[in-house]
């Protein structure tokens, strides 16, 4: 239930917004220090939210809201291993996975860190053996390709990180198969040689139907080419369900465990990151963990309004609940972060797409926004039209590196950055009717033409964006960025008053799919299904008959 103090703080914030100045063009004109006032840096990572229509009073009111929601106390409870995921009676300790050696986190009277370090060391040994060719396939050839079979949190994190860290990729090629659509595994395997391919079956539960179906297909592929005895040399697994992995037939020294206190969408730091470690090497993987740990320390210790994840969460809450904006776009001006929006969709929407509070009561405010995006500059030539002139306001989150990894292509990078900055400036400044008219006049437009066309060239402006800038997309920086987003999602969840760590909303579809499988196969009739579903199944059967 919302506490009276929180309700009071929210009412004050809403009342303030109703009369707040809110015009960013004017705010920048009036205050030359606006950027300094509304940006924060932690080392070379900078968050700029000066192009959001907040002022110092709004930030103070948001900070009161965070205090009333007990954000700092909830954060401390998470770090210390309290079972804050109450619907599953679990601790939430993905942060422990990136703790440095020698630290300790006690859960139910037991320090979890020795196990964490032991798995990391086992991954390290295995990754080195695959990379140096000593862990060969069954015919003695070194592994040239790894295929991660997993979905959701067992796919999106490592797939995103592998692409992000492409400049550091010096191990075997890495492929990711997630979709149960046979096209995915078919198109992946058709390029590969069974003798030199290693599969990593990644599934926290080891029951997910997509992963189990793809893993069975991969096993048949190996058996057909190399015989059943070859399976042990061509499979590894990552799971919390070690009994189920053993039943699948994966040899114990190739099984890497993790724990129920690591949520799927928070698991790329665990053994789920094994394909990344094989691709970029254990040292780089540890740098990724160290970067995330740096952000953890910042989140755990920086004061409220100097705390980057907290500020990002407060600004997110301002947009979602106070301004009622339904979505947020994540636009990395960093091609290697192309999978970041998909990764964040799970992180944010599976965490905060909830309608009941932590006490099981209906929420009284909107919760998590729709998260979407694509890299810039490509998005500019696709959906930016709507961001600039559409009828909905969609806050944008830009990410960009000051430096690329291609020094000889510096001109590309400068152009990329100029575009990124130009878009946030255009969203904020817009273009008035008078500006549109005078621009057309300057280009020699006729009076008639100007009157007709100028309204189409007006941009309302005052559209919010934040920018996250960093020096270069290296493993440490990637770790910091992902941990930043994890903590931001956490902060928003505390403000929404919801549990960010369960995902009951994905269950119903899974149950219905299981029930519908025999109906689609034609082994059962569609009795009990609604008329649309029954009609669609009948149509599929007709289409299959030709």
| 335 closest CA partner among 405, 386, 255 | 405
Question: In whole angstroms, what separates CA 125 from the centre of its chain?
Answer: 28
349 secondary structure, DSSP code = I
- Length of the chain equals 546
Closest to ligand F6P by CB, 35 vs 504, is 504
* Catalytically annotated residue among 210, 287, 350, 397: 350
Give least dist CB 153 to ligand F6P, A. Answer: 3
| 198 closest CA partner among 166, 168, 169, 231 | 231
Closest to ligand F6P by CB, 415 vs 513, is 513
65-73, 204-212, 245-253, 276-284 -> range binding ligand F6P (CB under 6 A): 204-212
| 149 closest CA partner among 213, 241, 224, 63 | 213
| 297 closest CA partner among 489, 49, 480 | 480
Q: Please work out the total of residues on this chain that contact ligand F6P, with binding judged by CB under 6 A.
A: 14
Give least dist CB 204 to ligand F6P, A. Answer: 4
* Catalytically annotated residue among 381, 443, 456, 523: 381
Say what the alpha-carbon torsion angle 473, 375, 152, 198 is, to the nearest 10 degrees.
-60
| 211 binds ligand F6P per the rule CB under 6 A | yes
Closest to ligand F6P by CB, 90 vs 319, is 90
The Cα–Cα gap between 241 and 247 comes to 10
Over the window 335 to 354, marking each residue x when it contacts ligand F6P by CB under 6 A and - when it does not, the resulting string is ---------------x----
Helices (H), 357-472: 384-389, 410-429, 433-442, 447-453
| 175 closest CA partner among 218, 142, 132, 230 | 218
Give least dist CB 154 to ligand F6P, A. Answer: 4
CA distances from 75 to 69, 82, 195, 214 (A): 11, 10, 48, 38
510 tagged catalytic: yes
Q: Which of 81, 137, 152, 341 binds ligand F6P (CB under 6 A)?
A: 152
Closest to ligand F6P by CB, 436 vs 500, is 500
Closest to ligand F6P by CB, 153 vs 368, is 153
The Cα–Cα gap between 260 and 107 comes to 12
| 178 binds ligand F6P per the rule CB under 6 A | no
Give least dist CB 368 to ligand F6P, A. Answer: 15
Q: 10 Å Cβ neighbour count for 50? A: 21
521 tagged catalytic: no
| 154 binds ligand F6P per the rule CB under 6 A | yes
| 265 binds ligand F6P per the rule CB under 6 A | yes
430: left (phi over 0), alpha (psi -120 to 50) or beta: left
Give least dist CB 240 to ligand F6P, A. Answer: 8
| 197 binds ligand F6P per the rule CB under 6 A | no
Give least dist CB 281 to ligand F6P, A. Answer: 25
Query: Residue 121: enclosing H or E segment and its boundaries?
Result: helix 113-132
Residue list 85-144, contact with ligand F6P (CB under 6 A): none
Give least dist CB 97 to ligand F6P, A. Answer: 15
* Beta pairing, strands 396-401 & 197-202: unpaired
Q: Which of 153, 332, 375, 475 binds ligand F6P (CB under 6 A)?
A: 153
The Cα–Cα gap between 424 and 365 comes to 28
381 tagged catalytic: yes
| 503 binds ligand F6P per the rule CB under 6 A | yes
| 203 binds ligand F6P per the rule CB under 6 A | yes
Q: 10 Å Cβ neighbour count for 3? A: 12
Residue list 516-535, contact with ligand F6P (CB under 6 A): none
Give least dist CB 155 to ligand F6P, A. Answer: 8
Query: Residue 468: enclosing H or E segment and its boundaries?
Result: strand 465-470
120-128, 158-166, 198-206, 292-300 -> range binding ligand F6P (CB under 6 A): 198-206
56-69 vs 4-19: helix crossing angle, rounded to 10: 160
Q: Applying CB under 6 A, which residues contact ligand F6P?
A: 151-154, 203-205, 208, 211, 264-265, 350, 503, 506
Catalytic residues, which ones? 350, 381, 510
């Amino acid at each position: 239930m919302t506490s009276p103090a929180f309700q009071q703080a929210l009412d004050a914030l809403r009342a303030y917004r109703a009369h707040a100045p809110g015009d960013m063009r004017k705010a920048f004109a009036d205050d030359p220090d606006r950027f300094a006032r509304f940006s924060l840096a932690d080392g070379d990572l900078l968050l700029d939210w000066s192009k959001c229509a907040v002022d110092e009073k709004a930030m103070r009111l948001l900070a009161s809201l965070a205090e009333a929601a007990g954000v700092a106390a909830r954060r401390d409870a998470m770090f210390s291993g309290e079972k804050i995921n109450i619907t599953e009676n679990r601790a939430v300790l993905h942060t422990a996975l990136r703790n440095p050696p020698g630290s300790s986190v006690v859960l139910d009277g037991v320090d979890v860190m020795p196990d964490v370090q032991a798995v990391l060391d086992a991954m390290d040994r295995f990754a080195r053996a695959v990379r140096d060719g000593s862990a060969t396939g069954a015919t003695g050839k070194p592994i040239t390709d790894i295929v991660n079979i997993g979905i959701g949190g067992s796919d999106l994190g490592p797939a995103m990180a592998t692409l992000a860290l492409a400049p550091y990729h010096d191990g075997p090629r890495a492929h990711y198969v997630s979709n149960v659509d046979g096209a995915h595994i078919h198109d992946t395997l058709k390029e590969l040689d069974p003798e030199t391919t290693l599969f990593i079956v990644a599934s926290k539960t080891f029951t997910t139907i997509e992963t189990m179906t793809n893993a069975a297909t991969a096993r048949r592929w190996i058996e057909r080419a190399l015989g059943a005895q070859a399976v042990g040399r061509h499979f590894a697994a990552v799971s919390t369900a070690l009994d189920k992995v053993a039943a699948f037939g994966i040899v114990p020294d190739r099984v890497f465990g993790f724990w129920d206190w690591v949520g799927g969408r928070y698991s790329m730091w665990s053994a789920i990151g094994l394909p990344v470690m094989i691709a970029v090497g254990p040292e780089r993987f540890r740098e990724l963990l160290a970067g995330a740990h740096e952000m953890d320390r910042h989140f755990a210790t920086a004061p409220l309004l100097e705390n980057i994840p907290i500020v990002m969460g407060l600004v997110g809450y301002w947009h979602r609940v106070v301004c009622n904006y339904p979505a947020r776009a994540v636009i990395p001006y960093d091609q290697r972060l192309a999978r970041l929006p998909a990764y964040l969709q799970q992180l944010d929407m599976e965490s905060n797409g909830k309608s009941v509070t932590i006490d099981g009561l209906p929420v009284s405010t909107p919760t998590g926004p729709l998260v979407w995006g694509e890299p810039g500059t490509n998005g500019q030539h696709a959906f930016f039209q709507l961001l600039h002139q559409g009828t909905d306001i969609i806050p944008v989150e830009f990410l960009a590196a000051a430096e690329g990894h291609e020094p000889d292509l510096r001109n590309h990078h400068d152009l990329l950055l100029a575009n990124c900055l130009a878009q946030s400036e255009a969203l904020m400044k817009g273009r008035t009717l008078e500006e549109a008219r005078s621009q057309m006049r300057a280009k020699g437009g006729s009076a008639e033409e100007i009157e007709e066309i100028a309204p189409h060239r007006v941009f309302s402006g005052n559209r919010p964006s934040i920018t996250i800038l960093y020096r270069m997309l290296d493993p440490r920086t990637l770790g910091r960025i992902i941990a930043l987003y994890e903590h931001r999602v956490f902060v928003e969840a505390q403000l929404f008053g919801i549990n960010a760590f369960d995902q009951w909303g994905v269950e119903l579809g899974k149950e219905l799919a299981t029930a519908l499988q025999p109906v689609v196969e034609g082994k059962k009739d569609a009795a009990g299904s609604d008329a649309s579903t029954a009609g669609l199944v009948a149509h599929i059967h007709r289409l299959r008959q030709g």
